[in-house]
């Protein structure tokens, strides 16, 4: 048995190493993680389970999952991350890992999901200022008076929003390398403490929750709201109504 094998092999369907492949298949069928894009992590106690990067997300197996300690020990001169377990096959942990850690440290999240949903990408192009001459570093997706807003929580982990609330999701600029989004994502999370996710222009969205169920629910609700917000915008309808 390879080192750390027992961390990812379980007959329990609710074990994170079993849930992550199941969820990735579901997200693939939604068009969220095609072309090896996107990712998910689940934090359980003092361990974080993360999907690999650059693989067919609908074909991930429990043995492909990386396990990291939480919190992470301080980085050493030789490594920037500590692992409890790596896959036996040559895989790399998700490029989203530093961004997932933002959700853990800034929101005490139990799970974070990253998708390349076309609805999210279109929302970043039609809301906020997507031009190169913008003066604000962070744009905003805003929508109100939609029933699905009630499935989103304050800060992603707090109380549920109301139908009458205006949902605001910040939009940050993309970078050539995903890990370089870490600081701008953290800046947006600090500036928008009530946001349950961060949109990345021309890229996708990061959504988190106190556990995987609530993170998944919020990812689904936000994706619905991005889609209908885009349709309303294209139809010339206001996405935010006055109370």
Q: What is the pTM of this model?
A: 0.94
Of residues 226 and 4, more confidently modeled: 226
Q: Are 163 and 174 in contact (CB under 8 A)?
A: no
Catalytically annotated residue among 3, 6, 22, 147: 147
- What's the pLDDT score for residue 185? 98
Cα–Cα distances in angstroms (integers) from residue 162 to residues 119, 120, 240, in the given order: 22, 22, 14
Q: 1-94 and 97-243 share one CATH topology? A: yes
What mean pLDDT comes out for the span 19-45? 97
pLDDT digits (tens, 9 = 90+) for 65-89: 999 999 998 766 666 789 999 998 9
Residue 197 phi, psi dihedral angles, 5° rounding: -165, 170
Q: Is 169 helix (H, G, I), strand (E, B) or coil?
A: strand
What is the arithmetic mean of pLDDT over 224-236? 98
Average pLDDT of the chain, as a whole number: 93
Which class in CATH covers the domain with range 97-243?
alpha beta
Nearest to residue 206, comparing CAs of 111, 141, 81? Answer: 111
Q: Is 147 a catalytic residue?
A: yes
* pLDDT one-digit tens code per residue, 45-68: 999 999 999 899 999 999 999 999
pLDDT for position 243: 63
> Can you give the residue ranges of every domain in the chain?
1-94, 97-243
- Tracing tokens 């959700």 back to the chain, one arrives at 103
The pLDDT tens digits for 143-172 are 999 999 999 999 999 999 999 999 999 999
1-94 falls under which CATH superfamily? Answer: Class II aldolase/adducin N-terminal domain (3.40.225.10)
Q: Where are the beta strands (DSSP E) in 127-193?
A: 139-144, 166-172
pLDDT digits (tens, 9 = 90+) for 95-137: 999 999 999 999 999 999 999 999 999 999 999 875 444 446 7
Query: Average pLDDT of 181-199?
Result: 98
């Amino acid at each position: 048995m390879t080192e750390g094998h027992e961390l990812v092999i379980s007959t329990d369907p609710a074990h994170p190493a079993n849930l992550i492949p199941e969820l990735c298949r579901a997200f693939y069928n939604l068009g969220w993680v095609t072309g090896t894009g996107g990712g998910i992590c689940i934090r359980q106690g003092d361990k974080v389970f993360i999907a690999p990067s650059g693989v067919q997300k609908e074909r991930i197996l429990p043995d492909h999952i990386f396990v990291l300690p939480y919190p992470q020990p301080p980085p050493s001169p030789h490594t920037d991350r500590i692992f409890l377990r790596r896959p036996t096959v040559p895989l790399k942990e998700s490029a989203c890992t530093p961004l997932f850690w933002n959700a853990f440290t800034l929101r005490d999240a139990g799970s974070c999901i990253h998708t390349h949903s076309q609805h999210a990408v279109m929302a970043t192009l039609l809301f906020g200022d997507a031009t190169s001459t913008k003066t604000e570093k962070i744009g905003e997706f805003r929508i109100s008076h939609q029933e699905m807003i009630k499935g989103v929580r304050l800060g992603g982990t707090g109380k549920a929003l109301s139908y009458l609330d205006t949902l605001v999701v910040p939009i940050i600029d993309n970078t050539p390398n995903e890990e370089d989004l870490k600081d701008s994502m953290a800046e947006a999370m600090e500036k928008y403490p009530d946001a349950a996710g961060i949109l990345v222009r021309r890229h996708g969205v990061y959504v988190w929750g106190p556990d995987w169920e609530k993170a998944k629910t919020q990812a689904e609700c936000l994706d619905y709201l991005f889609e209908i917000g885009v349709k309303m915008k294209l139809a010339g309808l206001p996405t935010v109504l006055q109370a």
